[in-house]
Structure 1
Amino acid sequence: MSLNTGSALNTGLPQRFADRMGQLLGPDFPQRLCLAVSGGGDSMAMLHLAAGWARVYGITLQVATVDHGLREASAAEAVMVAAEAQGLGLPHETLRWQGWDSRGNLQNEARQARRALLRQAAGGAPVLMAHTQNDQAETVLMRLARGSGVDGLAGMSDDATAGGMRILRPLLTETRAALRHYVTTLKIPFVDDLSNEDTEYARVRMRALIGTEGLDTATLAATATHMARARDVLQALARNAARDLSRPDATAPGAVVWDRDGFAALGAETQSRLAAAAVMAVTAATYRPRLEPLLEAVNRAMSGGAAVLAGAIIVPRRGRLFIAREPMAVGNAVDVAGPACLWDTGWRLEGHDINGLTVRALGEAGLGLIPDKPQPRAPRHILASLPAVWDGATLVAFAPLGFGAPHSIIPPGSGEELTLARLAH
C-alpha cells in the first residue's frame, strides 16, 4: 500500500480495520469489546480505529492498560492512555500487576499475568490486541530458531482463545510503519518503550535481524499463514482419528481411552497431536507438553510400559491406551460440606451420604480396600487417580467400581470431548 499521502492512508486503514472486524466477528457482533492498550503506537492506533468503528455499529468498548510496575514510566503511560480514552468517551481501567517475585522467566510471568488481568477485566468480552505483521514475522523467526514445528511456525492467530479469553488481533496484516504513520498524521499521542531496544530480549534481536538482513515481514507473515493452514488440516485429521479410536471405559470416567492398534497405525505427527491433546485434556493444562518427553512417553506406552508425563499417566492394557491424571499429581483432599463438592481439575462429587466426609484420590492403598473388583476394569494406575470418599483412613465409597455409599462423580467432561476441544484450537 502506498504511503504517499496521509489522507489516503487514513481513509484506507479505518476501512480495512472495519472489514477485518467484520470477518473476525461475523454477522452477530458482540455488544461489548475490551481493548488492551499499552500506550505504544500500535495499540494507540487500534484505540482510535476501534472507537470510530464501534460508533458506527453501536458497540460498547472498554479500555484496559496493564501496568506491570517494572518501569518508572509505566504509570504515566497508563495515565496517558486513560486521558486519550476519556477524550473518545470510553471507560478506562489500569490493571496493576504486583506478583513479580524476581524469580522465573520475567517475560513469561508478565505475559501470564497480563492475560489473567485482562481476562478478569473483560468479564467474558472478547479482547482486542494490537499485534502487527511485524510482530508476526518476529514470532516466526523466534520459533524457527527454537526448532518449532508446524504449529509454532503458524505464529499468532487473529482469532484465538486462551484460558477462556477470546483474543482478536485485527491488525495482524498491518505493518508497524503504517500504524505509526497513522498516529503521527492524526497527532495521536503514543510512547516508545525503551525496552523494545534492549537486545537482551529475543524479540528485539529478531527485529534487528529483519532490519539488517532486509527480510520481508510480509513474506515471513505469509509463511505463518501457510503453516496455519497446514496445522488446521493436521488438526482435522487428528480429530477424526480421536473419534475413530475412542473406546470409553465406565470404570475410568474422565480418562481418554483409545484402541491401541489403531493408534499404532497412525503417523507419528497424528500420534503426537493426539497424545498432547489428551494429556492437556486430563490435566487441564494450558500448554502442550514438550515434544521430546511426549514422544518418549508415547514410545514407552506403546512398548507395554506405563509412562508419566506432565501430570498425566499413559497406561496400555488389553489392547487399549488409557490416559488419565497421574496419581501423584492429583489435587489435595477436600472436606465435604453439603451434598456436593469440587475436586482437582473440576471433578464434581454429589450424594447426600458424603456430607461431612473427605474426598481424595483412591490411591493404591484405597484400591486394596475394595474386596470385589469387577472385571474387566481400568488399570490400577488409572483407578488410583480417581476421586474416592473417605472417613479418615476408612474408604467409604468409590463410584467407578460401585463400592460403598451411593454417590456420583462427574468429571470435567468425557475424555473424548475434552481431547476434541483441545484439537479444535
Structure 2
Amino acid sequence: MTRRPASAARGIADEELDDLFAPLLTYHSLVLAVSGGADSMALMHLFSRWRERRPETPVEALVATVDHGLRPDSAREAAWVARQARRLGLRHETLRWSGAKPASGIQEAARRARYRMLAETCLLLAGGGPSAVVTAHQQDDQVETFLMRLARGSGLDGLSGMPPVRGLAGRGSGPALVRPLLAVPKARLTATLVERGLEWIEDPSNEIDAFERVRVRRALAELEKLGVTRRQIAESIKRLRRARETVESALSQFEIAVGLDIVCSALARFDHEAFLAGPAELRLRLLARLVEAFGGQAEPPRLAKIESLAARMEHTSWRGSTLGGCVIARHKTQITVAREFGRAGLPEIILAPGGRAVWDRRFVVSLSPRQQGPVVVRALGARELRRLARLREGAFELPARAAATLPAFWRADELIAVPQLDWPPDGLTAPAEEAPCGSQFIW
C-alpha cells in the first residue's frame, strides 16, 4: 500500500463535500466503484465523510470492487478494499470477471465487463427506486480520454468527454453513472489521502507504455510545454458537451415527431416517412438507442454499422435488416424494432423466492419472497404464445415474433406469469408491489 509525501496541491475540504456530492441525493441506492487506487479510495473516504456530516441522507450505498483476475494480487487487493470499506461502516462486495479473457484488447474488454457487472449489481440493489453507479473519474481522466478519442477521429459524442451524469448503456430508466469528481484534478485527490494519512494501491499497469492511456498521459507533459494545458482542454470539453446536450434535446423532440411507441416492452415502432424526413444525425441516434435497448447485447453496434443500416433504410426496396440482436423491419407506414430470437435462443435463469436478476440485459426480473420455491425465467416462445392467445380468446397487440421474446416465469413445465402481457388475467388487479412475479424493462 502507498503513502506519498505531501504535494503542492490542496486536499478536498469538508466544506466542498455538499457541492461535490449533491447529485447523489437524487438516488435511493448507490454502488461506489472502488478499485483501491488513489482516486477511488479518495471517493470512498470523501463519500463516507459526507454521509457522516449528513446523517439524515436516505441513501443506501454498497462499495463494489471488480476483480478482473488479470494480476496475481487482484484478489488480495479486493480483500484489502473490503476491509477499508467495513472500517468506514460501508457494505462491500467483490465482483469477479470469470471466464476466458481475450488475447488482445484486454483493457477495453475489462472495461466492458466492469460496467456490465456494476450496472447489474446496481439494478439488483435498487429494488425499483432510482439508482446509480458512482465512479472516481477526475479531470485528468477526462483530458486523457479527449486526446485518445481525438486520435481516433471521434465526433461530437466522443469529444464532448465523459458527462458528469448519464444513463448506463445510454438508457434513461436504468441505473445512472455518476462522476462527482470529474472537475477535480487528480493531484487534489491524492493530496486528500496524504493529508489524512490514508493508504491506496498503486496499479502497476499505470507505468506500462503498451497501454494507450499511459502514453497519452506522458504526452500531456509535452503539450503543456506548447501551452496546451489540462485546464484549457477541460474548458473545450465543457463547451462541446453543451453542444451535445442540445443534440440530445433535439432527439427527444424527434422521438415525438416520429411517433415513437414502445409496445409491451417488446417492440418499438415509429412512422417511416417522418423518420426519413428527419436530420441524418437524429436518425442515427434514434436507431442506435433502439438497437441498444432491444438487442440484449453486451456492447452496442459500432457507428459504422448504424450508418450502413440507415443508408439501406432510405431505399424504397428496403424491407428489413438484423443488427445487434434486433430485427428492424418496415411494415407499410411503420418501422419496427424488436429482439431477434436467434438460433441459440434467449437466456434461462433460476430465481429463488425474494430474488432479483437481470434477464437478457433487457429486463430486471423478480420473484416475491412469499412464493413457494424457485422459478425459471426464460423466453415465452411462439408455441406458448399461441396457447395463451387461444385461452385469451384473441390475439395480443404486438406481433408474435416480438411477444415470443418476452420473459416468462415457469415452475417445471407450468407457465406462471408473463408480466408484460398481463398474464394471468387475475393478476391485473393486484398492486405492483404484491405481484408474485415482476419484470421491468430497462429503457
2: CA distance between counterparts of 1:113 and 1:188?
29
Distance 1:189 1:272, change over 3 A: same
What is the CA-CA distance between 1:174 and the residue it aligns to? 0.7
Match of 1:162 among 159, 168, 176: 168
Is the contact made by 1:63 and 1:90 (CA closer than 8 Å) also made in structure 2?
A: no
What is the CA-CA distance between 1:211 and the residue it aligns to? 2.0
Is the contact made by 2:85 and 2:92 (CA closer than 8 Å) also made in structure 1?
A: no
What is the CA-CA distance between 1:260 and the residue it aligns to? 2.2
Partner of 1:114: 114
Match of 1:130 among 133, 136, 141: 136
- What's the TM-score, normalizing by structure 2? 0.68
Partner of 1:229: 242
Match of 2:302 among 278, 290, 310: 290
For 1:195-218, what per-residue CA distance to the aligned partner results, in whole angstroms no more than 9, with x for missing partners? 011122221122122122224222
Partner of 1:325: 339
Match of 2:381 among 351, 360, 370: 360
Is the contact made by 2:381 and 2:404 (CA closer than 8 Å) also made in structure 1?
A: yes
Distance 1:198 1:301, change over 3 A: same
Partner of 1:354: none
Q: Does 1:216 align with 2:222?
A: no
Q: Does 1:174 align with 2:188?
A: no
What is the CA-CA distance between 1:298 and the residue it aligns to? 1.5
For 1:254-294, what per-residue CA distance to the aligned partner results, in whole angstroms no more than 9, with x for missing partners? 43332222222211111111121222233244654212221
Is the contact made by 1:132 and 1:174 (CA closer than 8 Å) also made in structure 2?
A: yes
2: CA distance between counterparts of 1:72 and 1:181?
29
Partner of 2:355: none
For 1:300-343, what per-residue CA distance to the aligned partner results, in whole angstroms no more than 9, with x for missing partners? 12203123222223333433333333464683599xxxxxxx99
Is the contact made by 2:295 and 2:339 (CA closer than 8 Å) also made in structure 1?
A: yes
**Tell me, what secondary structure is at the counterpart of 1:233?**
helix
Partner of 1:387: 404
Distance 1:64 1:99, change over 3 A: same
Q: Among all aligned residue pairs of Structure 1 and Structure 2, give the percentage whose two residues are the same amino acid.
A: 30
Partner of 2:45: 48
Q: Does 1:262 align with 2:261?
A: no
Is the contact made by 1:62 and 1:90 (CA closer than 8 Å) also made in structure 2?
A: no
Match of 1:144 among 142, 150, 153: 150
Choose 1 or 2 for highest CA Rg. 1
**Tell me, what secondary structure is at the counterpart of 1:9?**
coil
Alignment gaps of 5+ in structure 1? 335-341, 349-357, 367-376, 390-405
Partner of 1:25: 24
**What residue identity is the alignment partner of 1:106?**
I
2: CA distance between counterparts of 1:189 and 1:267?
52
Q: Does 1:93 align with 2:92?
A: yes
2: CA distance between counterparts of 1:320 and 1:120?
33
**Tell me, what secondary structure is at the counterpart of 2:35?**
coil
**Tell me, what secondary structure is at the counterpart of 1:157?**
coil
2: CA distance between counterparts of 1:310 and 1:193?
34
Match of 1:310 among 324, 330, 338: 324
CA-based RMSD: 4.3
Match of 1:277 among 257, 264, 289: 289
Is the contact made by 1:150 and 1:231 (CA closer than 8 Å) also made in structure 2?
A: yes
2: CA distance between counterparts of 1:45 and 1:287?
30
Is the contact made by 1:276 and 1:294 (CA closer than 8 Å) also made in structure 2?
A: yes
**What residue identity is the alignment partner of 1:9?**
R
What is the CA-CA distance between 1:135 and the residue it aligns to? 0.7
Please list, as runs of the form range in 1=range in 2, the aligned pairs for 1:366-385 lying within 5 A after superposition: 384=401
For 1:85-138, what per-residue CA distance to the aligned partner results, in whole angstroms no more than 9, with x for missing partners? 344x32353515251413364223322433344446552253321111011111
Is the contact made by 2:139 and 2:186 (CA closer than 8 Å) also made in structure 1?
A: yes
**What residue identity is the alignment partner of 1:221?**
A
**What residue identity is the alignment partner of 2:182?**
L
Please list, as runs of the form range in 1=range in 2, the aligned pairs for 1:5-16 lying within 5 A after superposition: 9-10=10-11, 13-16=13-16
1: CA distance between counterparts of 2:326 and 2:27?
39
2: CA distance between counterparts of 1:343 and 1:207?
39
1: CA distance between counterparts of 2:136 and 2:306?
34
What is the CA-CA distance between 1:171 and the residue it aligns to? 0.9
1: CA distance between counterparts of 2:37 and 2:153?
30
- What's the TM-score, normalizing by structure 1? 0.71
Partner of 1:371: none
Partner of 2:199: 189
Pairs aligned (count): 364
2: CA distance between counterparts of 1:175 and 1:285?
35
2: CA distance between counterparts of 1:384 and 1:16?
54
